[in-house]
Amino acid sequence: MEAVRPIEIKDVEAARGRIAGTVLRTPLVKLELGPESPEIWLKLENLQPTNAYKIRGATNAVAALSEEDRAKGVWTISAGNAGQGVAYAAREFGVPSTVVAIETAPQTKLDRMRALGAEIIPVSYQDAWKIAEAHAYPGLDGTLVHPFDSYDFIAGHGTMALEILEDLPEVKTVIAAIGGGGLVTGVGSPIKALRPDVKVLGAEPETAAPYAYSIEQGSPQWFPDWKASFVDGAGGKSVTERMWQRMRPVTDGTITVTLDQTRQAMRLIAEKTRTIAEGAGALALAAALTGQAGEGPIVCIVSGGNIDLDKFAELVAD
């Protein structure tokens, strides 16, 4: 297991070069909400080829492997978005991929991983979290591309921060959903290195807010009374010691939102941008709309849009 170390700008710049032919530079779109609302901009990562930001980290991580390690095939643990990212990157390099997938993942995500050539091994959420913490799964001989606790995976996500700072130099706050913590660490690291005045905040659902609970307790914790919800791409069961070490220096806290606030944010994104955000993808906007992030300019990362359409329609219906 690699040592935990700060993400360096030079490695984020190198990642930008590696992923340029595969990953989109996504648009930053201003939400027009009227004079009473904060100034909010949306970073639409739901427009990536896999409809989620994870393709940034996955592509960089697979590209950074030695040819020998890549030739063994790659595997990851995922509720869907990391799996799609790793499978997409593996296909680009012509190597096999396996996803240890949370069995309750939306069918849309499972189908897309299979369509990209991934072999699926279904496991329970509890087992998936244990595998993620152990960095191992008995019987799998390929090279693990960890979905959040990986230097190269996180550095790939950092490319998003470079785009945000270039497109909106006056940004005051950036908000990112927290699942395992790779996204907020990836985005927060370049921002704190280049613009330490910019706040970096997490966003978590009330049913699964281990980072908020860990900050309150002063150490990495398992979240009491964790509940599954439609926010399947974020809201982990715990903050691992390794991710606690990564997140704390580059974040300024986190905002906890209700499932109803998240659902309303999904609807607002659809109304204003005509794009679909899954539950995790709408967490950042839900957090910004609480007012706890200030007046802005705030950039909310719409991290993904992989959700069954029937489920989406049900959630955003009045």
Give yes or no: 303 in active site: yes
Range 32-58 average pLDDT: 94
Does residue 108 have a pLDDT over 90? no
Six-digit token string for 12: 């984020």
Query: 208: pLDDT confidence band, cut at 50, 70 and 90?
Result: very high
Write down the pLDDT at residue 132. Answer: 87
Selected catalytic residue, list 30, 124, 303, 311: 303
Packed helices 259-273 and 309-316: angle between N→C axes, nearest 10 degrees: 100
Does residue 59 have a pLDDT over 80? yes
Topology alike, domains 9-53+151-316 and 55-144: yes
**What is the C-alpha to C-alpha distance for residues 252 and 153, in angstroms, rounded to an integer?**
22
Query: 115: pLDDT confidence band, cut at 50, 70 and 90?
Result: very high
Selected catalytic residue, list 30, 43, 54, 237: 54
**What is the C-alpha to C-alpha distance for residues 314 and 236, in angstroms, rounded to an integer?**
24
What CATH architecture is 9-53+151-316?
3-Layer(aba) Sandwich (3.40)
Range 186-203 average pLDDT: 98
Please give the share of the chain, as a percent, with pLDDT higher than 90: 85
- The domain segmentation of the chain, as residue ranges, is 9-53+151-316, 55-144
**What is the C-alpha to C-alpha distance for residues 299 and 177, in angstroms, rounded to an integer?**
12
Six-digit token string for 301: 């990362």
Which letter, b or e, does each residue of 46-84 get, where b requires 16 or more Cβ atoms within 10 Å of its Cβ? Answer: bebebbbbbbbbbbbbbbbbeeebbeebbbbbbbbbbbb
| Tokens 């839900």 -> residue | 286
Query: 89: pLDDT confidence band, cut at 50, 70 and 90?
Result: very high
What would the pLDDT profile of 171-182 be if each residue is shown by its tens digit? 999 999 999 999
Q: Which helix (H) or strand (E) holds 75?
A: strand 74-78
Query: 57: pLDDT confidence band, cut at 50, 70 and 90?
Result: very high
Range 6-22 average pLDDT: 96
Write down the pLDDT at residue 2. Answer: 82
Query: 156: pLDDT confidence band, cut at 50, 70 and 90?
Result: very high
**What is the C-alpha to C-alpha distance for residues 305 and 308, in angstroms, rounded to an integer?**
9
pTM: 0.94
Write down the pLDDT at residue 129. Answer: 84
Average pLDDT, the chain: 94
**What is the C-alpha to C-alpha distance for residues 28 and 201, in angstroms, rounded to an integer?**
18
Selected residue with higher pLDDT from 44 and 296 = 44
CATH number of 55-144: 3.40.50.1100
